Every structure is written in C-alpha cells, then in structure tokens.
Amino acid sequence: MNPLLALQVAEQVREHPKRWGCLALFLLFGPVIAGALVAVLIIVVIAGGADGASSTPGHVPGIPDVMLSAYRQASQRIGGIRPACTGMRWSILAGIAEVESRHASGRTIAPNGDVSPLILGPALDGSGVGGNRTPIRNPDGTFARAVGPFQFLTTTWAGVEQDGNDDGARNPHNAFDAALGAAAYLCGTGPRDLKEQSQLRAALLRYNASQAYVTQVLANIERYDAVELQPVVSASGAAKIVIDAAMSQLGVPYAWGGGTAAGPSRGIRDGGVADRHGDYNKLGFDCSGLVVYAYAKVGIVFPHNSRAQFARGSRVPREAGLGALRPGDLVFYSPGFIHHVGIYLGDRRMVNAPFSGAVVRVDVVDLAEYAGGVRVLEP
C-alpha cells in the first residue's frame, strides 16, 4: 500500500472505529494478529427478568436446558419458601452454578434433574487439598465435602435442603433441588432484596466467604442481566453449531484484535480509539475474531481479518438482498473497503462484535452498509 494512503486509512481507523475496526487489523498489523493470546472461554447468556418471574428463553447456548429450567423454576418458587426475600432471578443462580460446576459440565442431566456421575469435591479432612486446613465433619463423623452442581457442603445442605422437583426427595445432586436450595440459602431467613447490590454481595459472601469469588459471580450475573432476550434462531446442522457458538458469547466485550479459535483473547493496541477504550486490557472479540471462533467449532479455519474472510466461500451478491442469505452465512459491511463482518441469523439479524466499547450482540443488518454475504456452509 502507498505509505500516504496507509497513513490516511490509519487516521480514519482511529477516528471511526465502528466503521474501520476489523479492517484495521488487516491494514495496520497483518500477520501479527495470528499471535493473539488464547484465553478462557467465557460463557454468557441471556438476561433475567423481574422479581420471582425471570424471563428466559427455552434454550441458552452454554447452559443445558434442564439446568436452565432448574434456575428459572427456583427463582419463581422461592417466594413461597422465603416470602421476605425479593429480587431473586435465574441469572443469580446461573452465575453461581457457572463458577461452581460450569452448569454441571461434562455430566448427564436427566429430565428430572438428576446429575450423573456425581460432582464431588475433596473430603475436607484438613489435609490441604483444595485449600482446606481445618477438618469439617458431618454429624455421622465422616468428613464433609462439597457436592452437586451448586457445590453445597454436606453440612450446609442439611440446613437448606429443598425438594425442587416435587419427587419427595431432597438431593443436592439434583439440579432442581440444588437450585432451590441455593436460592433459599442466598435469601436467608430475614428480609432481603437481591436487587440491591450491597445485599446481593452480602448473600454471595455468605455462600462463599471470598471477595474474588463474589467478584466473579457478580460479573457473571451482570452479563446475564445485561444482554437482551434473543429469539430462537431457525438453523440446523453445522449452521446451528456456528450460531450457537457465536451466541454463547453474547455480552463478551469487544476487544480490538481479540478472539481465537479457542475463545476470547486479549486485545491489542491500535494507537487510537481502541486504546482509549482499553481494548488491550480486555478479553474479548473483534468482528473477525468472533467468526474465527464460531467457525472453528465446525473445523473451518478463517484468517483473522474481515477483508480476507470476504474472499472465502461462495459470494451472495448484495443485489440479491437479505432474502438470499441463510443462517450461518457471513454478512459484510463496506463503504469502499470491507471493514466489518457478522454471522447471519435470519430475519435481517446478525450476531457480531461491533466496535470498541460495545459487546458481542445481535443487530439488525444495516442495508446502507451491507456489501453482500459469503456462504461457507453448503447444505
């Protein structure tokens, strides 16, 4: 590229990150992007509703359907058990279970909520395993341990046990029982309003007396509460896998240069707008990084820049309109250069990482910017 043109484009990038954010990776950094750091997968989901009647979809990527039903049902039933407690919502319970067991990840969850194999923490025998230096015993003399998807100590469960699925049993290894027990434990026995941050924090500290733990759970809850309810996407096969992967990242921060096949990664410096937003200190995705991550789930490797991604697959011309797109197709924006990419969901919507200061979200496709699509997943 002509050096003068490169400087002009660089200036446009810094002043208009929404328009130029992903193209900047191609123009300013090129192959450096390939070295983006791998970071942990952040599971985010969809916002909860009001007190005792949280609004949830039938499915949330990253959370097994039965677990989601357990969180929702517990948030709705807790008022009958702890009438002085208000503000309970499914996102609070999901925020805890994400930390405690990753929503019973790797286990089989039966329709009635039974989790197998059992989730068992180490025996709290004072040996130092898991940080425990003080023996804790059950009433029968055996050592206590954390159990189930909410990792209740067996000694704690005895005081808050609930029958969340009305089968006559109170089992901490059952998702419905454990979720309702967790709600009861968080509420305590006196008045409590969990919509108040200070009271929510106090309840979480009671659950686990660790400031680091509370900070992590609060971050999970905030993500769950902040993202608008998204409608179900009509897709199947590889397209559904790609879309579910992208939708599982709703609410994850935009980070310029962020995103790998493994998940969110730390952003990089751009010398301008992204730096002012602190993208280099965030774990997240830019637009093309989200595509890299989602398509990796079906074994498709993409370069980490939108202009190069536009050169892949079969072109869906702009003139054909959005009706020619299928769920899972890539949607590109261009005021001259290809500068942005999203993953098409249907009904004029796409999931994308839009620009610095935003989060992964669902947007209506902007027809004024739409430059056409690319189809990589053939039926």
Q: For residue 16, give the CATH number of its domain.
A: 3.90.1720.10
17 located within any domain: yes
How is residue 172 annotated by DSSP?
Answer: T
- The residue among 226, 256, 277 that closes a domain is 226
53 located within any domain: no
Length of the chain, please? 379
In whole angstroms, what is the distance from residue 50 CA to residue 210 CA? Answer: 27
Same-domain check for residues 75 and 176: yes
- Helix (H/G/I), strand (E/B), else coil: 109: strand
In whole angstroms, what is the distance from residue 98 CA to residue 60 CA? Answer: 13
- The residue among 193, 226, 259 that closes a domain is 226
60 located within any domain: no
Ordered per-residue pLDDT tens for the chain, 379 residues = 333 333 333 334 433 344 445 654 444 444 433 333 233 323 333 333 334 334 555 556 678 889 988 998 999 999 999 999 999 999 999 999 999 999 999 899 999 999 999 999 888 887 766 666 778 888 888 888 899 999 999 889 999 999 999 999 999 999 999 999 999 999 999 899 999 999 999 999 999 999 999 999 998 888 777 544 455 567 889 999 999 999 888 878 999 999 999 999 999 999 999 999 999 999 999 999 999 999 999 999 999 999 999 999 999 999 999 999 999 999 999 987 899 999 999 988 899 999 998 888 888 899 989 999 999 998 7
In whole angstroms, what is the distance from residue 270 CA to residue 13 CA? Answer: 9
Instruction: Report the pLDDT value the prediction gives residue 348, as an integer from 0 to 100.
Output: 87
242 located within any domain: yes
Same-domain check for residues 25 and 160: no
Instruction: Report the pLDDT value the prediction gives residue 10, as an integer from 0 to 100.
Output: 39
Question: Nearest 5°: phi and psi at 214?
Answer: -60, -40
Same-domain check for residues 32 and 144: no
47 located within any domain: no
Q: Is the pTM of this model over 0.75?
A: no
In whole angstroms, what is the distance from residue 224 CA to residue 56 CA? Answer: 10
Same-domain check for residues 168 and 250: no
8 Å CB contact between 235 and 243: yes
32 located within any domain: yes
Q: What are 138's two structure tokens?
A: 């059950």
Instruction: Report the pLDDT value the prediction gives residue 232, as an integer from 0 to 100.
Output: 55
149-178 burial string, b = 16+ CB within 10 Å, else e?
A: bbbbbbebbeebbbebbeeeebbbbbbbbb
Same-domain check for residues 195 and 268: no
Same-domain check for residues 168 and 284: no
In whole angstroms, what is the distance from residue 203 CA to residue 187 CA? Answer: 7
Number of domains observed in the structure of the chain: 2
58 located within any domain: no
Same-domain check for residues 71 and 206: yes
For residue 78, CA distances in Å to 37, 42, 134 come to 42, 28, 33
- The residue among 191, 226, 261 that closes a domain is 226
Same-domain check for residues 255 and 361: yes
185-219 burial string, b = 16+ CB within 10 Å, else e?
A: bbbbeeebebeeeebbbbbbeebbeeeebbebbbe
Contacts of residue 157, Cβ cutoff 8 Å, sequence gap at least 6: 147, 148, 172, 181
> What is the residue range of 323's domain?
3-42+231-375
Same-domain check for residues 150 and 292: no
In whole angstroms, what is the distance from residue 268 CA to residue 258 CA? Answer: 7
8 Å CB contact between 125 and 187: no
Instruction: Report the pLDDT value the prediction gives residue 132, as an integer from 0 to 100.
Output: 64
50 located within any domain: no
Instruction: Report the pLDDT value the prediction gives residue 130, as an integer from 0 to 100.
Output: 60
Same-domain check for residues 120 and 205: yes
What kind and span of H or E run contains 94? helix 90-101
